[in-house]
Amino acid sequence: MSPTTTSRAARDRLAWSHLALLPLAVLWLLPIALLLNGALRTSTADIFSVTPSGLTLENLIAVWRETDLLRMFVNSTVVTIASVVAVVVLGSLAGFGLAFYRFRGSGIVLLILLSGIMLAPAAIIVPLYELILDLGLLNTYPALVGPYTALGLAASVLLYRNAFLALPNELREAASLDGAGSFRIYLRMYLPLARTATVTIAILQGLAAWNDYILALLFMTDGKHETVQLAFIAFQGQYFSSLPKQFAVMAIVMLPVLIIFLVAQRAFVSGLSAGAVK
């Protein structure tokens, strides 16, 4: 595919590619564009207008002022960061234990943890709700951090274990001869060397925790601990008659992730594809 070998046929092919890709790209952008456009209009009649005139930030500002979106962002941030840290710490420890030591039962432990990858959260929602209720965790951060962490552990343990197994044996032998204990080797050598895995896991877990709707809907019911994903139902009544403000709420929910994604696009793409091919 080097430019020197670009023949006429290859140029034609590239032109055809755009013909196929452009309409698809428009279709892919449409829902997002529609949402942003609606958020920037003040009157309901204009929501489907496509002319650039009449765009305003008024709704976004008004919605931000009139609602508790800030509190919801704080809640989402706390829950997301806590579960990312937990998944990185617990997952890397377990991945280290499973990669470094071979002990009786380690195969079963790995299999049990990995079964979590396939689990549909809906399948355990009934007892999970009862558990959260019984533990008195309803409307507390641990009600979300606990399940998010547990559900994210499978992928995290697998990725860390693979990353650690890929490290050369000589490394740990050298460190061990220098008298480093195993925890020291984990903390000072393995964890820093598995940076790629950490980025991947942080992205996966961060997205899963930030974007979760259903556990938040069930476990955060008191109006103080709601996460941003619940914003629409929380303010639906308040903005029942104002479509532009409904759009504005959802745009504010969407924008941070979209902006972070566009800025750190490279990290997202390489992180996720590194996780895919190992």
Partner 1 sequence: MGLDTRAQERQPEVGTKTAGAAPAPRRRRRPSPGWLYVAPALAVFAIFVAYPIVATIRSSFYDYDGISPIREWVGLDNYREMLGGLDPYFWKAVTNTLLWTVVTVPVQLAIGLGLALLLDGALRGRVVYRTVFFMPAVLSSAVIAFAWGWIFNPDEGVATRVIRATGGTGQAWLAEPATAIWAAFGVSAWRYSGLFMLFYLAAMQMIPRDLYESARIDGASWWQRARRITVPQVRPMTMLLTLFGVIGAFREFEVVYILTRGGPAHATDLLSIQIFDQAFDLSRPGYAAAIATALLALTAICAIVLLRLISWANRSVE
CB atoms within 10 A of CB 49: 14
Q: Which H/E stretch holds residue 136?
A: none
**Count of all residues that appear for the chain in the document:** 278
Closer CB to partner 1, 55 or 125, in the complex: 125
Q: How far is the CB of 140 from partner 1 (least distance, A)?
A: 14
Q: How far is the CB of 153 from partner 1 (least distance, A)?
A: 5
Q: How far is the CB of 250 from partner 1 (least distance, A)?
A: 5
Q: What tokens does 104 get?
A: 């009786």
| Nearest-angstrom CA–CA distance, 155 and 114 | 7
Q: How far is the CB of 63 from partner 1 (least distance, A)?
A: 14
Q: How far is the CB of 151 from partner 1 (least distance, A)?
A: 7
| Nearest-angstrom CA–CA distance, 83 and 64 | 26
What letter would DSSP give residue 229?
G
| Nearest-angstrom CA–CA distance, 231 and 226 | 8
Residues 6+ apart with CB under 8 A from 63: 69, 235, 239, 245, 248, 249, 252
How far lies 73's CA from each of 68, 78, 181, 218, 231, in Å? 9, 9, 41, 18, 10
Torsion sign (Cα): 218, 219, 221, 223: negative
Q: How far is the CB of 138 from partner 1 (least distance, A)?
A: 14
Closer CB to partner 1, 61 or 174, in the complex: 174
